Amino acid sequence: MKDGWIFIDKPKEISSFEVIRKLRKILNIKKIGHAGTLDPFATGVLAVALGEATKSISYFNASKFYQFRVLFGISKDTDDSTGKTLQTSDTIPLKKEIDECLKHFVGFQQQVPPKYSAVKINGKRAYKLARENKTFEIKPKEVNIYNLTCLATQKKEEFIFTMECSSGTYVRSFARDLGKMLNTFAHVSELRRIKIGKFGENSIILLDKLAELVHIGDHFVMMHSIKDVLDDIPAVQLNSDLSKKFQNGLSFDFFNKDTFEDTLLITSNAKLLGIGKVVEGKIKPVRVFNL
């Protein structure tokens, strides 16, 4: 299976792009991409699409689970431990004060991404503008935090959090905003993504370990099919005539007028053909897989 997904345990101090570069070499593959960038200082689950699976990246919008530490009393220009210290405060919140604030962060909200992020401002990445000391504003975007918990540590100024959130949520922005709400400063001192959708610690593999498996031709055990990864999208089975139409990029009448789903996985004889969209009662091919 050269077309599918693999979940890497991203090491610290390496960018998500660097992981892709290394994988391209290890797997000797050209078509490769990832869903959900992890900052260089972060570790954990990085979802990587191979071959035809790269066409499905934008459809893998599963919720993300993080475990991270927040250090209070210090603000950083990057909102994490790698940045330059901007301000300090002697005000360190108590756990009960933090718990009281957490309810304000659960649910849909407008969140401003960090200045050091890959958000584009007039076609240029925000982190590049930040490095050039340019003044710019980042517009808030809607995110959804489903779950938040806090645990005390042996250091009174540092707390451990777990978060389940939608794609596009910035943990660093949460730490920055939580600090403000508690009338102090805060930044993320450690960050690990522990799960994307149903894929957690038991699904991931280190780059070195993967290279070993590739060497003996055993790496396919770590791969997941596109269908398995996109199993939250409803599937429709087509007969051979409609399958041919779909594969040729043609729209056709959809026999189930009651569906409210606009995106569907299209299959035929247990084979995945692609992703279709329901437009005015017709299925229109959006992504056709050549599997």
**Residue in the block written with tokens 């890959």:** 118
- pLDDT tens per residue across span 28-55: 999 999 998 999 999 999 999 999 999 9
The confidence band for 183, taking pLDDT boundaries of 50, 70 and 90, is very high
235-288 topology per CATH: 2.30.130
Instruction: Identify the CATH homologous superfamily for domain 4-62+198-229.
Output: Pseudouridine synthase (3.30.2350.10)
| Ramachandran angles phi, psi of 168, nearest 5° | 90, -5
From the centroid of its chain, how far is CA 21?
Answer: 18
CA dist., res. 285 & res. 49, Å (int): 20
260 has pLDDT over 80: no
Q: Is the pLDDT of residue 256 over 80?
A: no
pTM attached to this predicted model = 0.92
Residues labelled catalytic: 39
Please state the domain extents for the chain: 4-62+198-229, 64-196, 235-288
One fold for 4-62+198-229 and 64-196 = yes
CA distance 35 to 79: 22
Name which CATH class applies to 64-196: alpha beta
d(CA 175, CA 191): 11
- Paired tokens of 36: 């959900």
Question: What element of type H or E holds 232?
Answer: none
Run of H or E including 26: helix 16-27
